[in-house]
């Protein structure tokens, strides 16, 4: 890992050679990767570096956790609204249903 992100390697190999290819990457490729001085993860300076806004759960869930966390606030408001005005909502839906039902009965009966 670096202070700015991470380095990712995708190994495309057949199953019979996978372990040997992993060893080649670990022994020959990874030691040759060098980061600029001050850019290593260990060089983090809280006084000048920006902290992540995402929590561990958002990172574990791969961004889905962040989307859920943002929607939970909206869902909480909606549930609170529905809880407080449930009777009025049910009455309004009943009135709309009655209106539609009478409208169709008139059209059918002529």
SS3 5: coil
**3-50: pLDDT as tens digits:** 677 777 788 888 899 999 999 988 998 888 887 787 777 787 788 877
Please indicate, yes or no, whether the overall pTM of this predicted structure exceeds 0.85. Answer: no
Instruction: Compute the Cα dihedral for 34, 37, 39, 44 and give only its sign.
Output: positive
CA dihedral 59→65→66→67, nearest 10 degrees, is: 140
**Domain map of the chain by residue range?**
1-51, 55-110
Model pLDDT, residue 47: 83
Residues 6 or more apart whose Cβ sits within 8 Å of residue 68: 61
The string of DSSP codes covering 23-55 is: HHIIIIIGGG--PPTT-BGGG--TTTSPPPSS-
Model pLDDT, residue 16: 92
Q: Vertex 58, ends 57 and 64: CA angle to 5°?
A: 120
**56-94: pLDDT as tens digits:** 666 666 656 556 666 667 667 777 777 878 888 888 999
């Amino acid at each position: 890992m670096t202070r700015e992100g991470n380095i990712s390697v995708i190994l495309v190999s057949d199953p019979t050679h996978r372990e040997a290819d992993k060893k080649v990457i670990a022994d020959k490729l990874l030691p040759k990767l060098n980061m600029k001085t001050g850019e290593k993860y260990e060089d983090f300076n809280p006084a000048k570096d920006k902290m992540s806004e995402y929590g561990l759960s958002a990172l574990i869930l791969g961004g889905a956790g962040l989307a859920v966390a943002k929607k939970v606030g909206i869902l909480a408001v909606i549930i609170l609204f529905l809880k407080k005005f449930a009777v009025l909502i049910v009455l309004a839906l009943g009135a709309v249903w009655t209106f539609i039902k009478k409208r169709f009965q008139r059209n059918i009966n002529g």
